């Protein structure tokens, strides 16, 4: 059910200028303008060989997931845009999918987008996305905004159990004494009453937790429906003229006239705009790329709502309910052929269930790799959000916290595919900038961000973009990518001596 729009948006307490005029942001831009000013001894600013008539340089952009830390992504893209960088192809997961969607649909591809994304963020009530049961909303708020709430809750539970144990012991002792001392009977009765109250309190708590777990199962193993977010992102797409899959594709693909700075054998081959949102499908256990794989679920893709792609991508397990696509025409020959061609699955599911794309690919740089191109014409930039805490980065496993331990398990699983690609294609690491969000100030599930937190994250993203651009070398990237392609070609092409006749 759509939520009241006032629950989602409110009068902004901060303005766009509070972000863009922050001293850290202006300093980052001043540094870049000084570094890349040939008239004053700086070097030329060249990050791509693909340009438009206005002189904008084009790159492909991949944005990593990270919950509410995605505000740092906006700071990063803001600096890129201020340096006249524009985005040809875009991809993102979870929070990265949200910024990717907004950057895709707002205005034209050659226009800067980040300030308008900021405008939406300034008006956004983040806590409205926590749209589950009131009790779970209260618990989430306490866990995230109160220092050591988990510890306090644990100590309270231990205190309650300890009290019950003492009361039971008192019951036994007092009953024994009451047969010898008549005055003890009153105390024994009081002890029994307190024991009963304590037991009832624990029973009610257990019953309530059991009921919540039942509700969790019935609601798709998520404590928040995610309806508020779906309605919010759907409205943002609608405001920018995107209500169908085809409109989304048209918006992502609408490019100005592009030119090449230098000659390239590939010329303008496969030089197009598009957008990709990554999500994880649980029924068939596959990574899904929307909108490219819409034909797996509908014969008429325009019957699908593009907002669902972003909602599917950011379905954080347990925190949000799974996103479902029901009534898939699984017996339709076109659907069967699509599943067989894509995943070699001959029996498509009738219902698909999606969770956060970060489960399988939180940083999908690999989707822009094109082995048909010998020398790249533009780089792939990636924005990496690093929120691992210092104590959990330790190489000594005895120093990890409990959250750090389980975080390592989860990160090992979700980062393996992307890390494997980067290890085999190290050149792509040259295009990755990292935003350090490891401070205890930031929590990726903190939907109660203060204005200061938002501005701080934006500034950290801007500073990270400044550092990245200062150190990035398009020539190194291009040469290493060319060398990599030559190595792959050599491996795939056997020498004459190895050919048997």
The yes-or-no verdict on residue 220 having pLDDT over 50 is: yes
Whole-number percent of the chain with pLDDT over 90 = 49
Domain-embedded: residue 234: no
Q: Which residue has the higher pLDDT, 215 or 264?
A: 264
Give the pLDDT confidence of 279-328 residue by residue, as tens digits.
999 999 999 999 999 999 999 999 999 999 999 999 888 888 899 999 99
Q: What's the pLDDT score for residue 164? A: 78
Give this prediction's pTM.
0.81
Q: Domain check: are 118 and 217 in the same one? A: no
Domain edge (last residue) among 189, 224, 259? 224
Domain edge (last residue) among 197, 224, 251? 224
Domain-embedded: residue 447: yes
Q: Domain check: are 188 and 252 in the same one? A: no
Domain-embedded: residue 238: no
Q: What average pLDDT does the segment 42-55 reach?
A: 95
CB 324 within 8 A of CB 351: yes
Q: Domain check: are 118 and 166 in the same one? A: no
The yes-or-no verdict on residue 238 having pLDDT over 50 is: yes
Q: Domain check: are 80 and 183 in the same one? A: no
Q: Of the listed 48, 49, 94, 231, which one is catalytic?
A: 94
Give the count of domains, the chain.
2
Q: What's the pLDDT score for residue 433? A: 95
Q: Domain check: are 370 and 478 in the same one? A: yes
Q: Domain check: are 365 and 425 in the same one? A: yes
Domain-embedded: residue 368: yes
Does the active-site annotation cover 48?
A: no
Among the ranges given (125-139, 155-169, 390-404), the one the predictor scored with the smallest mean pLDDT = 390-404
Q: Domain check: are 138 and 251 in the same one? A: no
Q: Which residue in 283, 275, 221 sits closest to 253, CA to CA?
A: 275
Q: How far apart are CA 351 and CA 348, in angstroms?
A: 9
Residue with tokens 């928040």, as numbered in its chain: 224
Q: Domain check: are 86 and 138 in the same one? A: no
The two structure tokens encoding residue 158: 């231990």
Q: What average pLDDT does the segment 474-491 reach?
A: 84
Q: Domain check: are 112 and 178 in the same one? A: no
| Residue 27, domain CATH | 3.40.1090
* Pairing verdict, β 222-224 and 85-93: unpaired
Domain edge (last residue) among 159, 189, 224? 224
Please report which residue ranges of 58-183 form alpha helices under DSSP H. Answer: 71-82, 95-105, 114-122, 134-145, 149-178
Q: What's the pLDDT score for residue 499? A: 31
The yes-or-no verdict on residue 234 having pLDDT over 90 is: yes
Q: Domain check: are 73 and 169 in the same one? A: no
Q: What average pLDDT does the segment 133-150 reach?
A: 63
Q: Domain check: are 84 and 209 in the same one? A: no
Q: Domain check: are 85 and 204 in the same one? A: no
Q: Of the listed 356, 384, 392, 456, which one is catalytic?
A: 356
CB 278 within 8 A of CB 359: no
The yes-or-no verdict on residue 158 having pLDDT over 80 is: no
Q: What's the pLDDT score for residue 78? A: 97
CB 374 within 8 A of CB 265: yes
Give the pLDDT confidence of 351-394 residue by residue, as tens digits.
999 998 888 888 888 889 888 888 899 999 999 988 776 555 55
User: Taking the alpha carbons of 212, 216, 218, 224 in that order, is the dihedral positive or negative?
Assistant: positive
Q: How far apart are CA 400 and CA 379, in angstroms?
A: 37
477-479-481-482 Cα dihedral, nearest 10 degrees: 160
Domain-embedded: residue 97: yes
Does the active-site annotation cover 94?
A: yes
Q: What's the pLDDT score for residue 102? A: 96
Give the pLDDT confidence of 82-96 residue by residue, as tens digits.
999 999 999 999 889
Q: How far apart are CA 103 and CA 462, in angstroms?
A: 16
Determine the structural domain holding residue 297 and report its residue range.
Answer: 16-129+243-310+356-489
Domain-embedded: residue 181: yes
- Reported as half-sphere exposure (CB side, CA atoms, 13 A), residue 15 has a value of 2
């Amino acid at each position: 059910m759509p939520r009241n729009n006032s629950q989602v948006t409110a009068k902004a307490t901060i303005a766009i200028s509070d972000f863009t005029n922050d001293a850290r942001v202006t300093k980052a831009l001043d540094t870049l303008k000084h570094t890349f000013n040939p008239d004053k001894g700086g070097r030329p600013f060249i990050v791509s060989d693909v340009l438009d008539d206005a002189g904008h340089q084009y790159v492909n952009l991949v944005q990593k997931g990270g919950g509410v830390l995605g505000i740092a992504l906006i700071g990063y893209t803001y600096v890129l845009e201020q340096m006249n960088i524009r985005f040809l192809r875009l991809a993102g997961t979870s929070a990265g999918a949200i910024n990717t969607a907004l950057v895709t649909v707002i205005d034209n591809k050659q226009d800067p987008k980040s300030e308008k994304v900021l405008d939406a963020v300034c008006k956004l009530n983040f806590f409205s996305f926590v749209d589950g049961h009131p009790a779970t909303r209260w618990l989430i708020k306490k866990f995230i905004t109160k220092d050591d709430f988990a510890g306090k809750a644990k100590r309270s539970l231990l205190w309650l159990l300890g009290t019950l144990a003492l009361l039971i012991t008192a019951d036994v002792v007092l009953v024994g004494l009451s047969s010898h001392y008549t005055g003890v009977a009153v105390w024994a009765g009081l002890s029994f009453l307190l024991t009963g109250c304590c037991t009832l309190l624990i029973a009610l708590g257990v019953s309530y937790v059991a009921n919540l777990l039942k509700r969790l199962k019935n609601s798709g193993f998520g404590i928040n429906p995610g309806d508020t977010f779906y309605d919010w992102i759907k409205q943002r797409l609608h405001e920018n003229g995107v209500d169908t899959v085809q409109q989304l594709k048209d918006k992502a693909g609408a490019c100005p006239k592009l030119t090449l700075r230098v000659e390239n054998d590939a010329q303008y081959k496969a030089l197009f705009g598009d957008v990709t949102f990554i999500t994880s499908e649980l029924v068939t256990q596959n990574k899904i790329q929307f909108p490219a794989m819409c034909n797996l679920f509908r014969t008429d893709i325009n019957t699908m709502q593009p907002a669902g792609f972003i909602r599917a991508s950011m379905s954080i397990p347990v925190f949000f309910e799974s996103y479902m696509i029901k009534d898939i025409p699984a017996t339709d020959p076109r659907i069967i052929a699509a599943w067989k061609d894509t995943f070699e699955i001959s029996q498509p599911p009738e219902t698909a269930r999606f969770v956060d794309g970060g489960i399988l690919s939180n940083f999908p740089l690999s989707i822009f790799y094109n082995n048909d191109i010998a020398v790249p014409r533009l780089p792939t930039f990636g924005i990496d959000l690093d929120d691992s805490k210092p104590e959990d980065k330790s190489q000594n496993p005895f120093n990890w916290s409990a959250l750090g331990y389980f975080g390592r398990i989860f990160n090992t699983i979700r980062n393996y595919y992307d890390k494997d690609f980067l290890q085999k294609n190290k050149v792509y690491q040259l295009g990755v900038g990292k935003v350090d969000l490891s401070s205890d100030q930031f929590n990726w599930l903190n939907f109660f961000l203060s204005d200061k937190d938002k501005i701080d994250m934006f500034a950290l993203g801007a500073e990270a973009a400044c550092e990245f651009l200062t150190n990035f070398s398009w020539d190194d990237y291009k040469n290493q990518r060319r060398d990599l392609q030559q190595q792959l070609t050599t491996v795939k092409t056997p020498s004459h001596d190895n050919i048997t006749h």
